Chain A
Amino acid sequence: MTDNATKAASDERGAQAPQVVESKHEGHSWTGEAPLFIYAVWYLAFLYIPVLFLPLFSFNDSIYVAFPLKGFTLQWYADMLENPALLQALENSVKVGAAVAIASTFLGIFAAKAMTRYRLPGKGPLTSFIMLPLVVPGIILGIALLVISNTVGVDLSLYTIALAHTLVAVPFAMLVLMSRLEGFDKSLEEASLDLGESAFQTFLRVTLPLAWPGILASVLLTFTISFDEFILAFFLAGNEVTLPIYIWSQLRFPNRLPMVLSLGACILVASFFIVTFSEVMRRRGVGTQSGSAI
């Protein structure tokens, strides 16, 4: 693992050699490119390698997670597919995630449009207020929502989980969509209004088509947030559980560990691809659009 990292480091250093020279001209030599670059590669290894042990051991033919590796097996993945409780939890998670993605993106579009297109008094405090769920510890939000459901008399179910997830997903949706709306020229919308389109038609025919990469990114990100969220779901789940809660409940049984590993590996791979795709959509979209929309 470390060999790969250092090998990659030396490869890339070779490729970046001209920049090292360039930076020396600027007087960067005391922290030249190379040491920082090696550090960056190590840092990425620190970020990624711990998580990669889950997929690695999910193919290992032993119920113990330990070296040396015993042999290759797909047994744990097969077990997974034959487990009705797991499949039910997966279905629940997808349902909740889809509802959260749609609801939070809708709210995010409205909020982002208000924030970027109108002169609002108190915009700063309002933005901080909407961002608050990102900072309040999850456990506090979880028990606060548990307490209120109990007081109001709402039974815990997938709906309570979805509501809680919407609360934490809205700030992300708004951030993603705000950067997207700021990325294209406001005068396009004004032109449409001046040419006689109604506000709604303008939104439908100008704003939405220009904002759709942001909307897609927001839908995917908020889905992933909900799909992977554990703390709020833990407090707000009724009889029906989502996938992270199912995993938590299985951690008590050592003999279920390999199956948890294979499930974890699947979730990690799925999240990784969804999120990478949405990040590419979001960031690249903003860059090119702001240049070409003029």
Chain B
Amino acid sequence: MSDQTHAAGTYSGAEEQTSLGFKLRALFLKHEWLRGYLLLSPTLLVMICLMCVPLFMLIAYSFWTQNYLDIDKTFTLANYEAYFQKPIYAALMFKSIRMSLYCTFATLVLAYPMAYFIAFKVKKNKLIWLILITVPFWTSYLLRVFAWKVILGFNGVINSGLISLGILNEPLEFLLYNPTAVVLTLAHAWAAFAILPIYVSLEKIDRSLLEAATDLGDTPRERFWRVTWPLSLPGVIAAGLLVFIPTVGDYVTPKLVGGTTGIMIGNIVQSQFGKANNWPMGAALSVISMLMITILVVTFIAATTRARAKN
């Protein structure tokens, strides 16, 4: 009923058009899902044009080669062969994945108690806590990373602060430009992404289950591991994926705080599109990264669902 005038107004021209209009109108009136899809179509169109088509183009590029000025569009696996021939690529890929995993783990461990606190312990002003957690997430990523460079630097906040307090005599060199700095900065930058999914899954837990566990004699600790933790796992997994997937490809953080030892695969991809100017190689590297991430994520999800099915 909602689209009556919609169709009638549009088709009032030639007779053939009118009959087509009536047919269309009848079709849309009959099927609710058609009207829904009509409303959804602009968004889907944008997604297809700006995401799917470009990603397919990226895959196509990975099978081409770079001449000095233009792209040679004959199909070749040369870029993928290069990946396997130069061990640096694979080494960097695994290093990026490892650093991302550390970062994801750190983020989750830090975030879980916070989410637990908001879900179970905050009775009043839950809204304020949620907003406090969310707001930093919306502020500039670049500036948050830059802040860590300022803090950890050789003459940065920590070093100069400790020296002026008389605790240190000379600056600590190990703070900035290493993998640990990257992991720390990423864990800070992605914190809010982890808290919210965990919070949602904790909030959804039926409180009567907790009461039942207590009534049946569980200590609070047992109750947490037997009821709360398993029920919050979907949120933890979602949070883990939300942090892990984007951080593997990050290049801003390694570039600003990683130094030479903190470099990640994203930096190499970026340089292929910049100084190195080998777009097809960059495309191949990013396709391989996406594949690796997808394989890891799918195996992980399959493993967890199987484990949960067993229990």
Instruction: Write the residues of chain A forming the contact surface with B, with a CB cutoff of 8 angstroms.
Output: 19, 23, 26-31, 33, 36-37, 39-40, 43-44, 46-48, 50-51, 53-54, 57, 64-68, 107-108, 110-111, 113-115, 117-121, 126, 129-130, 132-141, 143-148, 150-151, 163-164, 166-167, 170, 174, 193, 198-200, 202, 221, 224-225, 228-231, 235, 244, 247-248, 251, 260-261, 264, 267-268, 271-272, 275-276, 279-280, 283-284, 287
Are the C-beta atoms of B139 and A67 separated by less than 8 Å?
no
Docked complex Cα distance between A151 and B70 (Å): 11
B246 nearest in chain A by CB position = A137
B163 nearest in chain A by CB position = A67
Are the C-beta atoms of B58 and A143 separated by less than 8 Å?
yes
B35 nearest in chain A by CB position = A118
**A228-B142 CB under 8 A given contacts A144-B58, A147-B58:** yes
A270 nearest in chain B by CB position = B139
Binds A, one of B19-27, B79-87, B282-290: B282-290
Are the C-beta atoms of B246 and A200 separated by less than 8 Å?
no
Asked if B51 CB lies within 8 Å of chain A CBs, one says yes
**A39-B54 CB under 8 A given contacts A110-B40, A170-B46, A198-B4:** no
- With an 8 Å Cβ cutoff, the count of chain B residues facing the other chain is 93
Partner of A107 from the list B33, B37, B43, B160 (CB cut-off 8 Å) is B43
Q: List 11 A-B contacts (CB under 8 A).
A: A27-B220, A50-B151, A67-B157, A129-B47, A137-B250, A137-B266, A166-B50, A228-B140, A228-B142, A264-B147, A267-B139
**A167-B139 CB under 8 A given contacts A40-B114, A107-B43:** no
Residues of A within 8 A of B270 (CB): 139
**A244-B140 CB under 8 A given contacts A120-B40, A133-B51, A151-B57:** yes
Per DSSP, chain B at the interface is helix
Instruction: Write the residues of chain B forming the contact surface with A, with a CB cutoff of 8 angstroms.
Output: 1-6, 32-33, 35-37, 39-40, 42-44, 46-47, 50-51, 53-55, 57-58, 61, 110, 113-114, 116-118, 120-121, 123, 127, 129-136, 138-144, 146-148, 150-151, 153, 155-157, 159-161, 163-164, 188, 191-192, 214, 219-221, 241-242, 245-246, 248-252, 256, 266, 269-270, 273, 279, 282-283, 286, 289-290, 293
Inter-chain contact total with CB atoms closer than 8 Å: 270
Are the C-beta atoms of B250 and A139 separated by less than 8 Å?
yes
